[in-house]
Structure 1
């Protein structure tokens, strides 16, 4: 029972972290999102299923309360939770942080690019839409244009999120007692 309570507490904390950091990034108009730090934290500590649950709960809560568009992009949170859980939980791979960040980023960026093109015609509220239109105007496919622009900000976002999570876990060496 204590283990289940600890897991639910970590997931709830991770959801709150996603919501607070995501809204902070929106408010400050940062070129990154910070809305997956909690998803990556839960996935790293508890595995892919916890990452997926955290991401889905975060997207639903944010979509209902403050940013409707996060509902459309919920599949991105699912991709991030899955990939972070696979690559970071129990440190199954010895790959470098930049490579792990890239592998966590790529599936979500592909999904986000498809959502942006199919549902929003390649235009979003971010300032990067202008660059997407320039690339598209130069003859690139619109999906590829969105993907190329988005991969930069997504990679930076996930690299920073993974760095924060790894640093936090290293600062709390007794976390294994909580989740075990």
Structure 2
């Protein structure tokens, strides 16, 4: 992506809106997944790693100053997600068998970062629904860091897998539509 064009900015704006709406749905419903990376992964897949990272940054800032202050602290996780989604998905058609592996590749580095953020800054208590699972595991005797890491790994993977499945379907249908124009 050498130069931003109007369509690039439009896609990034749409992706930011998708992240914002998704994150607020997850926040209000206290879902154990975040739904804040669909737009990031979409921008990364359509425009490349830098667009994915830019989308994640703008989404975190927007959510952080309007509805969920915690979103600002997890900006590094979003950056990694955007960069890795762009790296794995930009100009690559993935088969259905590859999608779970791509989700691991996108989710794992962010899981490490978000687990450390959750443990050291928030001691396992955040605005997401996954905090309840962390507290449940801690109450059952698992130490706090292991509880956080286990929950983050599971929820990050499911969140990224869902987002990648949605994005690959959108990209597939977009390519079909563009080919018919």
**TM-score after normalising by structure 1:** 0.88
What is the aligned-residue RMSD (CA, Å)? 2.2
**Counterpart-to-counterpart distance in 1, 2:177 and 2:79:** 24
Q: How far apart in 1 are the matches of 2:121 and 2:92? A: 36
Shift of 1:144: 3.2
- Assess if the C-alpha contact under 8 Å between 1:59 and 1:71 holds in 2: yes
Secondary structure at the counterpart of residue 128 of structure 1: helix
Match of 2:132?
Answer: 127
TM-aligned CA distance change 1:93 to 1:115, over 3 Å = same
Equivalent residue runs for 1:79-118 within 5 Å: 79-91=80-92, 96-118=98-120
Q: 1:38 aligns to what?
A: 39
CA 1:92/1:163 → structure 2, altered by over 3 Å: closer, same or farther? Answer: closer
Aligned partner of 1:8 in structure 2 is 9
Match of 2:73 in 1: 72
Among 170, 173, 179, the alignment partner of 2:172 is 170
Distance in 1, Cα, partners of 2:48 & 2:137: 35
1:24 aligns with 2:39: no
Alignment pair present for 1:53 and 2:58 = no
Say if 1:122 and 1:132, in contact at 8 Å, map to a contact too. Answer: no
In structure 1, stretches of 5+ residues that fail to align are: none
Q: Compute the displacement of 1:176 (Å).
A: 7.1
Query: CA separation in 2, counterparts of 1:176 and 1:45?
Result: 13
Matches of 1:105 and 1:7, distance apart in 2: 25
Quote the offset at 1:130 in angstroms: 1.2
Query: How far has the Cα of 1:122 moved from its partner?
Result: 2.5
Q: What is the aligned residue count? A: 173
- 1:95-132 alpha-carbon deviations (Å, 9 max, x no partner): 71000001100011110000001101233343122134
